[in-house]
Amino acid sequence: MNRTFAIAVGVAAVLAASVALADDTPATSSTPPATSSAPAATKAPATTSAHHSSSKSAHHHNMVNLNTASKDQLVKLPGITAETAEKIISSRPYASTSELVSKKVVTEAEYKKVQGHVTAKKS
């Protein structure tokens, strides 16, 4: 019985000390508790993956289809004038975006400006 009592008093003392230390720690501490470091490490890749995933989705979402885009959509592309947009529309259909150059709709320099913004999906 004395041994159980001694263990209980020891556990109570450890708990009291940890509570006292926790109260002394400022709330704005930049050091996370040791028990939280493992979950934070596992959450970081998920956040990074979600960021990459959303940026890819945003990139694909903003792609302009050369085969279906309106003149207004085309002139919003870098380096595309109203005249060039009309040439793009009149030269449809496109099997690939590089046909903008092979069909002599745009120059190589103009193509480089829009290359990452356009796609040539079949309508």
Chunked mean pLDDT (size 10), the chain, 123 residues: 67 59 50 50 40 43 92 97 98 97 97 97 85
Q: Which helix (H) or strand (E) holds 3?
A: helix 2-24
Rounded CA gap, 42 and 66, in Å?
42
Q: What is the pLDDT of residue 20?
A: 53
CATH superfamily to which 64-119 belongs: Photosystem II 12 kDa extrinsic protein (1.10.150.320)
Are 63 and 81 in contact by the 8 Å Cβ rule? The answer is no
Q: What is the pLDDT of residue 5?
A: 64
Q: What is the pLDDT of residue 3?
A: 74
